[in-house]
Every structure is written in structure tokens, then in C-alpha cells.
Structure 1
Amino acid sequence: MNSRIDAWQLQDHTVLITGASKGIGYATARELAGLGADLLLVARDDDYLEQVRVELTDDFPGIEVLAFAADVSVTEDRLAVFDWVADLETPLSLLVNNAGGNSPKATLDYSEADYRAIFEQNLFSAYEMCRLAHPHLIQHAHAAIVNVGSVSGITHVRTGSPYGMSKAALHQLTRNLAAEWAVDGIRVNAVAPWYIRTQRSEPALADSDYLDEVLDHTPLRRIGEPEEVAAAIAFLCLPAASYITGQVLAVDGGFLHYGF
């Protein structure tokens, strides 16, 4: 096959995706499967995750789709995920850290338990998943990690300060690992979405006045779709992106040029 075509394909790759059953994670699974990658899906809801696994298996008959129910913000669950990966004896070459969560409040309204939970979900889980994946990734010639950050880690948005702090730290983790693990042949990048049409964003966007305000600060004048973030993640996974590492790619419809 033409080497340039190979650069835009993910055959012989296996990707582990967290938060894989809905929203950006689910769209990413579909995008990477379409490019030829085998899928290892991780999410908390066992029954729903199994439905997604069956659906993707049916839609992509040439792709291996496996699933494991786990909450990656919990240490024991993270370890169980990588025990599962080891038992599969499947060469892992790609990691997408998509799992996360938020509870927007004013800074003074958070309890210590509240903000620590946000950091566990958004930062420490990804940190540990990267560390646990490292021994697997170094065995592949074109390994990559993509972390799902947020524009709230770059500028102020109304997500609550712990969420923005956790995503800013995730972006910095991306840069640090990119520099540290380049010698191991592992590229590390992140995407930073603005408002994307997912189950999590629906309540806020249902307020028409708030939606108008969001659109007024978005040059493309629309809300992004999960598939558009998934396409950016997929590009960063591809061999075609082999000279790109340590980057945080905004998928924001131009929002960061406006602020909010």
C-alpha cells in the first residue's frame, strides 16, 4: 500500500478509550474504528457499555471491539483495566483519556470533597492511566496519547474554578509527558473543546438566552458536534501527525479568539 495512505490509517493499532460509551468518547470510538483501529472501551455503566460494544461490532465487522466497565477515577478500577489489557495480550498503541466530570459552582460553594472529586476525575485519572499505559505504548513504533482537555483550561469560562484548574493541569501534563516520553517514541497531545453538543452540555444549552450568549462568542456561530472533536483526536493519533507532540489543539469554533 502507498506509504502516504498508510499514514492516514490506523490498521495494526489498538486504542484504549475512557469514557467511551457516550459523547466525545463514543464519537472517537467510531472515528478510530473507521480508520481501522481495534477498540478497547472503558466506561462506568456496564449495561450501556455492552450495548455500545455490540453496536460498534455490528457496524465495523473487521474491527475487534472489547469493553471493560470501570470508573477510572478509582485506583482499584484503573489497575483492573490494565490487568484486563495484560490478559488480552493485545499490543496497545493509543490511549485517549476522555473520562471526566464537573459540578459547576461558585468557588466559595465547593466543599473539599467536591473539588477533590473533580481533580480525581479530570486530572489524576488521566495521569495514572498514562503511567499505567507507558509499558504497553513503548512497545509500538507509532504510539500516541490524546488527552481531552477544555478551553476552560486556557481561559476563564463559567465552568467553576476546579474544572478549569484540572484541565489546565491536564494540558501541562500533556506538555511534560510529550517532552519526557519522546525518547520512548510516544507522542502526547491534547484537544481543548468549547461547547460540544453532548448529554452533559444539554442542560446549559437549553437556556435560549445562554445559548445566544455562547453563540455570540463563537465565530462559527454554532455548537460543535462530538464527531468534530473525534476527528481532531483521530488526526493526532495518526502516523500522519508523527511530528506533532506537546500540543493542545482547540476545537472551539474560534471561541478562544473572543473569550467569554
Structure 2
Amino acid sequence: MRTSPPLDNKVALVTGGSGGIGAACARALLEDGAAVVLMGRRRDALERVQQQLAGTVPDGRVVIYAGDACAPKDMQDAMTFAWSLQDRLDIVVPTVGGGGFRPILMHDADTVRAELDLNLTSAFLAIRYGAPLLAQSGGGSIVCISSTAARMNFRWLSLYCAAKAGLEALVKGAAEELGSAKVRVNAVRPGLTRSESTQAMFSTPSIVDGFIEQVPIGTLGEPEYIARAVRYLAGPESGWVTGQSFAVDGGHELRANPRLDDAIAHLYGVPALDAVKAGRAPDDV
């Protein structure tokens, strides 16, 4: 007797759907029967991922919605669109995020706001506009993408660390507040994982070697590693799990982050590195 896939008749919305982790999460959900809406700012990039997924999961249903996950109206409209597919919404996976190496003394108020918006506001909006629809569907799961940087200090990446730490606090608070509506909120905490935003790091042997030295398993992350954890937290197997963040990092959190001073010297110049190490803000931010 043929059994239905575990996510049959479920609807999922994945923000950052054209990125490596977002596309991998969409594939994992599709393979187990969910209909998936990919949200992202670039329609052409979403269409490419849609075509790829149609080729790998031919029986799956994947549609796209072009919009900015940091814009309240775009996010609300994307949720409404996802609901319209089957008059329900069951899974929300906000994958938008990222950050670049930048010493604290080279930040200003605008760059801080941008970092917080990308990593924290985007997840808040997904929770804010997704939770009522999940509750209306009888409950559901929100799975955010955090980072090992939320738990481990990372020199020259302090604002990203702060944003991801804030995200994990938001996950806990939202899980407690939304539990009575049967809406679960969790996060996956990746180590360094291959994606468009990290491609430069993966292409630099000294950076790769520095990270691998700190990973007991001895390999760095691939998007599908993260997607498997997201799929678990999104599905019925984790029905009694909420307010949690799971590290998927090859054991990286057992050790430490590399220093990567050379990366700052390469990005901003040796004089800028010397200045911030001496506690001065360089003139040319």
C-alpha cells in the first residue's frame, strides 16, 4: 500500500529562495510532498531555481513570488499568495541573511541598521505575517536560519554576531508566545556553508584552511546539510520541539573561529587594520 509523503498537502514559503540554502530547503520540502513558494527580490534568479527544482522533483509544485523580505508589504503579500495556493500555510523558512567582515570602528548607524534588517528584521516579518496564517491552518512550523556566530565570538564580524544572537532571542520569545496557537518556532545554526555570499571565502585557501582546522569532522558545510535539519524542524517528526536552535557545523562550536586578520588587510588595507587594532577609526571608512 502506497503511503502519502509526510508533507503531503502542506504549503511552505521559503524566503531567500534563490540562494543556496533557500533552494536546498525548498528541494527538501518538495521531495516530501509540500507545495513551495520561493520568495526573493530577483525574478530571474527565482525562475532559474524553479526550473532546476522542476527537473529534480518533477512531481513537486513550486511557484515563485518576487518581493523584498525586509519590506513589510512584500512579506505580507507573499504570505497571502502562499495561502491562496491551497487555502492554508504550514511552513515558513526565512533564509534571508548575511554579513561581511567589517570592524566595529568602521561601521556607522546606517551599516548597523542594514545588518540588523537583513538578519533580524527579515525573520521578524516572516514570523509576524506568517504566524496568523499558520495558526489559521491549525498550527505549523517556522524555521529560521541562524549561525554559529550567534554563539561564538568572531573577530571583525561583531555586528553579524549581534544580529544572529538577536535572532535566536527572537526565536525563543516567539516560540513561547505562539505555542498556544500551535505555531512552533525554531532555528538551524549553520557553520561556514557554501553559498553565493560565501563563495569568495571558499575560493581562498588560507580562509578555508583556517576554518577546517576548527572543525572536528574536517569538512565545511554544503546547503543540503542545512536543508536536512530544516526539513526535520519543519515536519511532524519534530512536533514536540520549539524554541530551539540546532548547530549543524561539523562540530565547529566545540572549538573556535579563526582570526582572519589577513582578510581585513585584504579588504581595507594594512593601515586600516593597524588603526582599528589600535582602537582608532580609519579616516577612509
Query: For 1:54-203, what aligned pairs fall within 5 Å after superposition?
Result: 54-88=51-85, 90-158=87-155, 160-203=157-200
What amino acid maps onto 1:194 in structure 2? G
Which structure's CA Rg is the greater one?
2
Q: For the Cα contact (< 8 Å) 1:152–1:159, is it kept in 2?
A: no
TM-score after normalising by structure 1:
0.93
The alignment covers a number of residue pairs equal to: 257
Q: For the Cα contact (< 8 Å) 1:197–1:224, is it kept in 2?
A: yes
Task: Provide, for residues 39-94 of structure 1, a one-character-per-residue CA deviation record: whole Å limited to 9, x for no partner.
Answer: 01101111111122233234323322111011111233223323433554531100
Change (3 A) 1:204 1:181: same
1:234 to 224, 227, 231: 231
Q: Distance in 2 between matches of 1:253 and 1:214?
A: 11
**Greater Cα shift, 138-147 or 56-65:** 56-65
**Greater Cα shift, 58-67 or 178-187:** 58-67
Asked if residue 218 in structure 1 is aligned to residue 210 in structure 2, the reply is no
What secondary structure does 1:67 align onto? strand
User: Deviation above 6 Å: which 4+ runs of structure 1?
Assistant: none
Q: For the Cα contact (< 8 Å) 2:104–2:156, is it kept in 1?
A: no
What amino acid maps onto 2:126 in structure 1? M
- How far apart are 1:158 and its partner, in Å? 4.0
- How far apart are 1:36 and its partner, in Å? 0.8
Higher relative contact order (CA 8 A, sep 6+): 1
RMSD: 1.8
Q: Distance in 2 between matches of 1:38 and 1:139?
A: 18
Q: Which runs of 5+ in 2 are unaligned?
A: 258-285
Percent of aligned pairs with the same amino acid: 31
What amino acid maps onto 2:96 in structure 1? A
Change (3 A) 1:241 1:65: same
Asked if residue 20 in structure 1 is aligned to residue 17 in structure 2, the reply is yes
Q: Which runs of 5+ in 1 are unaligned?
A: none
Q: Distance in 1 between matches of 2:51 and 2:207?
A: 37
What corresponds to 1:51 in structure 2? 48
Q: Distance in 1 between matches of 2:9 and 2:81?
A: 19
What secondary structure does 1:191 align onto? strand
What amino acid maps onto 2:168 in structure 1? H
Q: For the Cα contact (< 8 Å) 2:65–2:78, is it kept in 1?
A: yes
